[in-house]
Structure 1
Amino acid sequence: MALIDDLKNAQKDAMRAKDKVKLGTIRMALAAIKQKEIDEQISLTDDAVLAILTKMVKQRADAAAQYDQAGRDDLASTERAEIVVIESFLPQPLSDDELSELIEDAMTSTGATGMQDMGKVMGYLKPKVQGRTDMGALSGKIKARLNA
């Protein structure tokens, strides 16, 4: 529960600092976490919280792109500011070299040889890279490696 505690402490700090963007973003994150806990009647682990935060970053990136296309720079900049706040709670992203090394390790461990083993490799890697890389990009890299 350390990640939830970090969010709650950051919320208090944002209140003290009167940082409205950070406070609003953290409140949204805590509300999403609480909603998931209530819906599923469980206490979320740090991995589950990371998945929620990752999903929030992706949603905001998609929204910012749509606002850019619509010419609404004010709304796009708000979404990007929220992304910065949420990403501050996520672990450091993996470099391309680290990702390639993890893919090789996953292929060796699962015995993957072709595209039929894509699910095995993704299942092996997902808990290790959650919140540290874009899963769509990871999928593309795995496909390229399995087709090579």
Structure 2
Amino acid sequence: MTLKETLRTDLTAAMKARDTTRSATLRMALTSVTNAEVAGDTAVELDDDAVLKVLAKEAKKRKEAATAYRDANRPELADKEEAELAVLEAYLPQQLGDDEVQELVRQAVAETGATGMAQMGLVMKTVQPLVAGRADGAKVAAAVRAALA
């Protein structure tokens, strides 16, 4: 069963259980997947990796919105965004911790022989496939900057 089929099955189960947060979040996720499928010149069925990228993008939106709502002193809206984020995170791969990201960056720096910030792009190109979907790009970039500084 593909990830998209899993989302549809889970949506049906959430609707039957009258779980409004989960069903609304899964509907939003499926809509985003469909929009990504028809965004190009021709409509294509997304594979699981592409669906994961869409879900990661949606999760990032929820995380940023929750932070913005907390900063604006709107905890009820932040709680709603965090609940949606929790639903989306159930479908994403386990996120890497800071130590794991730093270790992967150290390995990439050693592998590429990078010595300064001029080689940051080279190190990022090496690290990105290793952390794909399992770490935020900003966190990886910060770790690379720290390693090369």
For the criterion TM > 0.5, the same-fold answer is yes
Cα distance in 1 for partners of 2:59, 2:75 equals 18
Q: Percent identity?
A: 42
Cα distance in 1 for partners of 2:48, 2:119 equals 28
Partner of 1:22: 22
Displacement after TM superposition at 1:19 (Å): 0.8
SS of residue in 2 equivalent to 1:57: helix
Displacement after TM superposition at 1:98 (Å): 2.1
> CA 1:110–1:46 in structure 2 vs 1: closer, same or farther (change >3 Å)?
farther
Runs (5+) with no aligned partner, structure 2:
none
Residue 11 in structure 1 maps to residue 11 in structure 2: yes
Partner of 2:66: 64
Displacement after TM superposition at 1:88 (Å): 0.6
Q: How does 1:91-106 map to 2 (within 5 A)?
A: 91-106=93-108
Q: In the TM superposition, what whole-angstrom CA distance separates every residue of 1:39-79 from its partner, at most 9, and x where no partner exists?
A: 12332232222222121112112211222232222211110
SS of residue in 1 equivalent to 2:109: helix
Quick check: 55-64 or 93-102, which moved more?
A: 93-102
SS of residue in 2 equivalent to 1:131: coil
| Contact 1:47 1:130 survives alignment (8 Å) | no
- Residue 109 of structure 2 aligns with an amino acid whose one-letter code is M
Structure 1 residue corresponding to 2:128, chosen from 116, 126, 129: 126
Runs (5+) with no aligned partner, structure 1:
none
| Contact 1:93 1:133 survives alignment (8 Å) | yes
- Residue 121 of structure 1 aligns with an amino acid whose one-letter code is V
Q: In the TM superposition, what whole-angstrom CA distance separates every residue of 1:89-134 from its partner, at most 9, and x where no partner exists?
A: 0111112332222112222333322212211222222232122112
Q: Report the RMSD for the aligned CA atoms in angstroms.
A: 1.7
Displacement after TM superposition at 1:81 (Å): 0.4
- Residue 141 of structure 2 aligns with an amino acid whose one-letter code is S
Cα distance in 1 for partners of 2:129, 2:88 equals 19
Q: How does 1:65-80 map to 2 (within 5 A)?
A: 65-80=67-82
- Residue 17 of structure 1 aligns with an amino acid whose one-letter code is A
> CA 1:45–1:115 in structure 2 vs 1: closer, same or farther (change >3 Å)?
farther
TM-score, with normalisation over the residues of structure 2?
0.88
| Contact 1:57 1:86 survives alignment (8 Å) | yes
| Contact 1:115 1:143 survives alignment (8 Å) | yes
Partner of 1:87: 89
